[in-house]
Amino acid sequence: MSAIDLSALSAHQVRDSIAAGEFTAREAAEAAYARIEALDGDVHAFLQLTPELAFAAADRVDTARAAGDELPSLAGVPAGIKDNMNLIGTRTTCGSRMLENYESVYDCTAVRRLLDAGALPIGKCNMDEFAFGSSTENSAYGPTHNPWDLARVPGGSSGGSAACVAAGMTSISLGSDTGGSIRQPGALTGTVALKPTYGRVSRYGVVAFGSSLDQIGPFGTSVDDVALALEAISGADSMDATSSSEPVGSYADGLDQGVRGLRVGIVRDMLDLEGCGAEIRASVDMAAETFAALGAEVGEVELPATRHGLAAYYIIGPAEASSNLARFDGIRYGHRAADPADVLDLYMRSRAEGFGPETIRRIMLGTYALSAGYYDAYYGQAQKARTLIIEDFRAAFERFDVLLTPTTPEVAFRFGEKSDPYTMYLNDVYTIPVNLAGNCAISVPSGLCSASGMPIGLQIIGDHFAEATLLRAAAAFEEATGFDPVPPLVNSLGS
């Protein structure tokens, strides 16, 4: 292993150490690859490593430092990139055989901005196929394992992005979140994971799942890490008409302001949703007590329409997915079946061979919901439920600055434990309403489960474009709890 222990350094510390000449960006990249070599055979966080790109980026940072130039905010910080984000010089497979041989011909805006800020592209991270899943068991290239317990899942669909940070292989990573795919694996791996407001970060260059729901966001081992990464990737983009021109603040600057006077609301009715464990509920109450002790004004709020969130999402999300994935037909894009009898045979066999079971399930569900005679009964009703959820959040933020819920109803589960789709879908019951409403939210570690020793995540939800307030609250909670994010198992594996 390299003498540089990335698991012991925040992104901020890596950047500052490089700026001070304590080690070089090239040495930081070498440390990342050494840790990957030691650990990723067990964890399988990466689908592709990109040392040529990473070392070229590192050399640019080292050259700039030698010349006395001011270094950017993430100079020399090793980063993982979810494999649904395009980057020239890499394959972008989306965890699917359908795109097994697809090579990116352009850059995802968020990835390019991360690299422009000096981050080192270490590799492309494993994921549930086309981001359809909550465990990274649906990857066509094998599952990712949770660094806290290799017999358990890391969450999904951004499981590889979460695991590489939890294992100290990279300092930060990017994931995408359509219904919880950043926050849920963040909670299950003990990392800090942020879903920005819809439109805060450009979606250009990320392979679309649900276009009205998708958002790119960062993972890190600290709130400071994700604040730095968020600032780097945020802002308007002429290539994405849904990106917002709302000004981007300096998110890292306000993290030490504390929460005195901040209005914090516990979403009490969400704690009673199906499947929420007693220890998970208790962790939210303990978090509320922590905020109160820090000087926040704590109260309770109800979001009654959110109980329809899961049902609405599994109409809207698959409907948008069925439309977005129609292009992968063996003719325009994607896997092409050999020796087809005719065009129809080519189309049918290419999709049957290229897509996995969960992807096929969601395409069929979405196509059915949009079909003639069913559109109003399903898709139309789901959109009405979405409107009610938006109105509930709007009313809640008239009273409170941030809201507290669990991130997940349980800690990381064992591989194969969720044998039917419904029990798997329930893992996103707390995160989905935030995507339907377009709000920002962050998952921060709030302790360990007494029975399993696995991390528990607290979800803090903010109003639209209230990332600065959200991060301020998360930073205060993080400092008060003092959670150690390094999995003991990973340390033993890497020693």
- Sorted by where each begins, the domain ranges of the chain are 6-265+400-494
The one catalytic residue in 157, 161, 171, 443 is 157
CA–CA distance from 19 to each of 170, 253, 484 (Å)? 18, 19, 26
- Residue 220: phi, psi to the nearest 5? -160, 175
Q: What is the pLDDT of residue 487?
A: 87
Tokens of 19: 């700026």
CB 126, CB 47: distance < 8 Å: yes
Predicted pLDDT at 485: 66
Q: Which of 159, 237, 233 is nearest to 196 (CA)?
A: 233
Residue type, position 219, single letter: F
- The pLDDT value recorded for residue 1 is 41
pLDDT score, position 419: 83
pLDDT at 3: 78
d(CA 398, CA 207): 35
Query: Which helix (H) or strand (E) segment is 61 a member of?
Result: helix 51-66
| Beta bridge mates, 448 | 455
C-alpha 118/C-alpha 76 separation (Å) is 6
One of 181, 243, 322, 446 is an active-site residue; which one?
181
User: How far is residue 100's CA from residue 263's CA, in Å, rounded to a whole number?
Assistant: 48
DSSP 361-415: HHHHHHHHHTSTTTTIIIIIHHHHHHHHHHHHHHHHHHH-SEEEEESSSSSPPBT
* Spatial separation of the C-alpha atoms in residues 450 and 447, rounded to whole Å: 9
Residue 77 corresponds to which amino acid? V
Measured distance CA(164)–CA(127) in Å, rounded: 12
Question: Where does residue 491 rank: exposed (0-12), middle (13-18), buried (19+ CB within 10 A)?
Answer: middle
Q: Is the pTM of this model over 0.85?
A: yes
User: Quick one: fold of 6-265+400-494?
Assistant: Amidase signature (AS) enzymes (3.90.1300)
Per residue in 41-81, pLDDT tens?
999 999 999 999 999 999 999 999 999 999 999 999 999 99
| Catalytic, out of 7, 10, 73, 82 | 82
Measured over the CA atoms of residue 481, residue 486, residue 487 and residue 492, the dihedral's sign is: negative
Per-residue pLDDT at 2: 56
74 CA to centre of own chain: 19
Instruction: Specify whether 181 is catalytic.
Output: yes
CB 182 within 8 A of CB 157: no
Nearest Cα neighbor of 165 from 58, 363, 9, 13 is 9
d(CA 67, CA 93): 38
Please say if 238 is a catalytic residue: no
Q: Are 495 and 487 in contact (CB under 8 A)?
A: no
Q: Rounded to an integer, what distance in angstroms lies between the CA atom of residue 482 and that of residue 479?
A: 5
* Best CA proximity match to 432, nearest among 262, 142, 210, 263: 210
Amino acid at 49: L
Element (H, E) at 121: strand 120-125
pLDDT tens-place string over residues 443-490: 999 999 999 999 999 999 999 999 999 999 999 999 999 887 678 766
Dihedral in degrees, nearest 10, Cα atoms 131, 219, 217, 245: -170
pLDDT tens, residue by residue, 153-203: 999 999 999 999 999 999 999 999 999 999 999 999 999 999 999 999 999
Rounded CA gap, 273 and 303, in Å?
Answer: 12
Beta-carbon count within 10 A of 237 CB: 21
Per DSSP, the residues of 429-444 read TTTHHHHHHT-EEEEE
- Hey, which residues does 457 pair with through a beta bridge? 445
CA angle, 162 then 362 then 81, to 5°: 25
Sheet strand arrangement including 455-462? 46-49, 120-125, 78-82, 172-177, 215-220, 192-195, 440-448, 455-462, 402-406, 263-267, 297-301
Q: What is the pLDDT along the chain (495 residues), one digit of tens a residue?
A: 457 888 889 999 999 999 999 999 999 999 999 999 999 999 999 999 999 999 999 999 999 999 999 999 999 999 999 999 999 999 999 999 999 999 999 999 999 999 999 999 999 999 999 999 999 999 999 999 999 999 999 999 999 999 999 999 999 999 999 999 999 999 999 999 999 999 999 999 999 999 999 999 999 999 999 999 999 999 999 999 999 999 998 999 999 999 999 999 999 989 887 778 899 999 999 999 999 999 999 999 999 999 999 999 999 999 999 999 999 999 999 999 999 999 999 999 999 999 999 999 999 999 999 998 899 999 999 999 999 999 999 999 999 999 999 999 999 999 999 988 889 999 999 999 999 999 999 999 999 999 999 999 999 999 999 999 999 999 999 999 988 767 876 666 544
Query: Can you tell me the distance from the alpha carbon of 232 to that of 234, in angstroms, rounded to the nearest whole number?
Result: 6
Q: What is the pLDDT of residue 477?
A: 98
